[in-house]
């Protein structure tokens, strides 16, 4: 009989690929360490810090030679043991947070960041199980995890196979969208609103296509939901054209992802333009500015990134033709995004995007605005200038407000749907 081989690193590599796809390298922290009593300890296999929320991952692996139908009870018990180990190991990050042991983290972009998690951090646990060898079997013959949620060591914990988690990432690929999914999943399981035999991908389909139903269950209006078997398969077959169109329409949203990926290169860079706000001596890139800005951008869900990306692309194309393109988009009642594409010199560009942001901030009556400036679409090289204005006061507020239509044209209101 062949002995099982420890393939933990390989399993972590696979999960890291998924995390980089969903969260980007900037929010993925692998094998974070902390000191306790002079000894170095690993807080988790992965951490994804996001404001007051922290996703903590434990990755477990096991080599399988039998299909689900060929397994005996002892085989399933061994798999359950792996899962239980992962759930229990999450107590390490909880203790590290409670004792404030974790001071810094290094993300996948290689940037070491200060970490301020504590006992008040909204900690969400995820245990990802890789069953090596099961890929040789058909989908219906592979081991599945049902009712994969528990509240253990004061941590809401979600359990997925690596394969299922990867599939989830094809539908949910931003941090706020995943947090929304996990919140709904937690609510359904804690309320007992799902049958224990509900397949994960069938619930994913429900989440993606029946948001009003999700809200009613979460609000207590509905106590129990019967999810049709093979709902996922029907969704992927009957609506494949809509899904493909959705994916195509989401392509402009990747502009925001690209800006996030670029921003770590700004650390330590000084464009020499000064700060048009007059609030600091320079626009030099700092770690604090880098992380604060990517947090604001990453807080935009995919569907709203699409809306911003569409306007961003229009501005890039317009700048190719006339030298400048600009747009303002509201992504919530009090938050907006302004984009500027221009062939102007860097200093002029910085002042230009600041002026546009100030007009949109006042004219749209916002509490926060994210501003992005870059070159036209066909530029051989690309750079970005970003700023976030929040809770600021302008002495010439009324004058700025009056320029909204002049700068951005007449207001257009509309709705956006995923499909």
Report residue 284's pLDDT band, with 50, 70 and 90 as the boundaries.
Answer: low
* CATH number for the segment(s) 8-191: 3.40.91
What per-residue confidence (pLDDT) applies to 271? 64
Tell me the pLDDT of the chain averaged across its residues: 94
Q: What is the mean pLDDT of residues 351-372?
A: 97
Tell me the C-alpha distance between 110 and 365, whole Å.
38
The two tokens of residue 375 are 């070159």
Q: What is the dihedral of CA 100, 46, 55, 187, to 10 degrees?
A: -130
Instruction: Give the orientation angle of helix 240-249 with respect to helix 231-238, to 10 degrees.
Output: 70
CA–CA distance, 57 with 87 (Å, rounded to integer): 9
Over range 335-361, report the average pLDDT: 96
Mean pLDDT of 136-149: 94
pLDDT at residue 276 is higher than 80: no
pLDDT in tens, 78-112: 999 999 999 999 999 999 999 999 999 999 999 99
At residue 270, the pLDDT reads: 74
| Interval 52-80: pLDDT, tens | 999 999 999 999 999 999 999 999 999 99
Identify which of 337, 291, 289 has the alpha carbon closest to the alpha carbon of residue 315.
337
pLDDT for residue 278: 58
pLDDT tens digits, 215-229: 999 999 999 999 988
Confidence label for 282 from pLDDT (cuts 50, 70 and 90): very low
pLDDT in tens, 185-210: 999 999 999 998 999 999 999 999 99
Strand 112-114 and strand 122-132: pairing? unpaired
The neighbouring-strand residues paired with 343 are none
Confidence of residue 394 (pLDDT cuts 50, 70, 90): very high
For the whole model, what pTM was predicted?
0.94
- Position 320 scores a pLDDT of 96
- Residue with the larger pLDDT of the pair 116 and 317: 317
Q: Which residue has the tokens 């409670």?
A: 98
State mean pLDDT over 18-31.
97
Is the Cα torsion angle 400, 406, 408, 409 positive or negative in sign? positive
Confidence of residue 277 (pLDDT cuts 50, 70, 90): low
What is the per-residue pLDDT for 7? Answer: 85
The percentage of the chain sitting over the pLDDT mark of 70, rounded to a whole number, equals 95
Domains in the chain: boundaries: 8-191, 196-238, 251-408
């Amino acid at each position: 009989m062949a002995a099982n081989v420890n393939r933990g690193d390989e399993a972590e590599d696979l999960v890291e690929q998924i995390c980089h796809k969903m969260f980007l390298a900037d929010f993925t922290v692998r094998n974070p360490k902390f000191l306790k009593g002079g000894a170095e300890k690993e807080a988790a296999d992965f951490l994804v810090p996001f404001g007051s929320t922290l996703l903590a991952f434990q990755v477990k692996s096991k080599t399988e030679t039998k299909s689900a139908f060929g397994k005996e009870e002892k085989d399933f018990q061994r798999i359950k043991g792996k899962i239980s180990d992962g759930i229990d190991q999450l107590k390490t990050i909880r203790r590290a947070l409670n004792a404030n042991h974790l001071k810094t983290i290094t993300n996948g972009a290689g940037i070491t960041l200060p970490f301020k998690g504590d006992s008040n951090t909204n900690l969400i646990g995820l245990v990802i199980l890789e069953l090596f060898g099961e890929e040789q079997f058909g989908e219906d013959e592979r081991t599945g995890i049902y009712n994969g949620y528990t509240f253990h060591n004061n941590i809401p914990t979600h359990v997925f196979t690596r394969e299922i988690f990867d599939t989830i990432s094809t539908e949910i690929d931003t941090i706020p969208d995943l947090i929304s999914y996990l919140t709904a999943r937690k609510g359904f399981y804690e309320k007992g609103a799902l049958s224990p035999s509900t397949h994960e991908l069938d619930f994913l389909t429900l989440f993606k296509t029946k948001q009003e139903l999700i809200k009613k269950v979460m609000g207590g209006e509905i106590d129990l939901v019967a999810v049709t078997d093979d709902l996922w398969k029907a969704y992927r077959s009957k609506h494949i054209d809509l899904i493909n169109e959705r994916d195509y329409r989401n392509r402009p949203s990747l502009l925001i992802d690209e800006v996030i990926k670029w921003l770590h290169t700004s650390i330590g860079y000084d464009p020499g333009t000064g700060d048009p706000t007059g609030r600091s001596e320079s626009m030099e890139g700092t770690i604090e500015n880098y992380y604060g800005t990517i947090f604001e951008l990453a807080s935009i869900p995919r569907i709203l990134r699409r809306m911003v990306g569409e306007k961003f692309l229009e501005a890039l194309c317009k700048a190719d033709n006339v030298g400048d393109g600009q747009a303002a988009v509201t992504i919530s009642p009090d938050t907006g995004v302004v984009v500027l594409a221009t062939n102007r010199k860097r200093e002029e560009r910085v002042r230009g995007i600041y002026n546009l942001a100030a007009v949109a901030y006042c004219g749209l009556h916002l509490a926060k605005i994210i501003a992005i400036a870059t070159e036209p679409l066909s530029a051989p090289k690309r750079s970005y200038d970003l700023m976030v204005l929040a809770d600021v006061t302008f002495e010439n507020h009324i004058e700025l407000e009056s320029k909204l239509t002049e700068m951005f044209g007449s207001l257009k209101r509309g709705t956006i749907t995923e499909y």
